[in-house]
Amino acid sequence: MSRRFEWSWKSKIFVCAATAVLVMVVFTAPAFSHNPADAALIYDQGKQTLSVTVTHSPFSDSHYVKEVEIAKNGQVVGKYPYGSQPGDTFTYTYKVPALPGDVLEAKATCSKYGSKTGKTSVAPLR
């Protein structure tokens, strides 16, 4: 004789609650982390440097901007990895030779979730 398993009301409630918790954890994980809010670029043609100001907060030992990628005219010219960030808003400066009309981009990538890209064009000398 086979005995058919019957769900008790306690088992049904437990399975439903466990499933709901699992779904919330899986689908809300990105909400606990966020991409950088801003990546502002300023190019100094005289010094041939690109300053990238990133806003990303709150940060911690495990939640920070882990990389800044620099591109010129759509081609990556440098990737700069980091193990932490110095504050909520910070500026890194990179040596980037560029001519008037060149388009520079910087993508700041979060260690947990997402990225933010800033863009600027090199203005003609005055």
Q: For 50-82, how does the pLDDT look when each residue is reduced to its tens digit (9 = 90+)?
A: 999 999 886 677 889 999 999 999 999 999 999
pLDDT recorded at residue 35:
78
Domain count, the chain: 1
Q: Which two tokens stand for residue 104?
A: 């520079």
Q: Which residue has the tokens 């005055």?
A: 126
Look at residue 3 in the predicted model and tell me its pLDDT. 64
Q: How far apart are CA 20 and CA 8, in angstroms?
A: 19
The CATH number given to whatever domain includes residue 48 is 2.60.40.730
Q: Is residue 2 part of a domain?
A: no
For residues 73 and 81, what is the distance between their CA atoms, to the nearest angstrom? 21
Mean pLDDT for the stretch of residues 90-101:
96
Q: Is 78 inside any structural domain?
A: yes
Instruction: Measure the CA–CA gap between 109 and 113, rounded to whole angstroms.
Output: 8
According to the model, what pLDDT value does residue 30 have?
47
Q: Tell me, yes or no, whether 63 lies in a domain.
A: yes
Which residue range forms the structural domain that includes residue 58? Answer: 33-121
What is the C-alpha to C-alpha distance for residues 72 and 68, in angstroms, rounded to an integer? Answer: 13
pLDDT confidence of 108, banded at 50, 70, 90?
very high
| Dist. CA 32–CA 60, nearest whole Å | 12
Confidence check: pLDDT of 116 > 60: yes
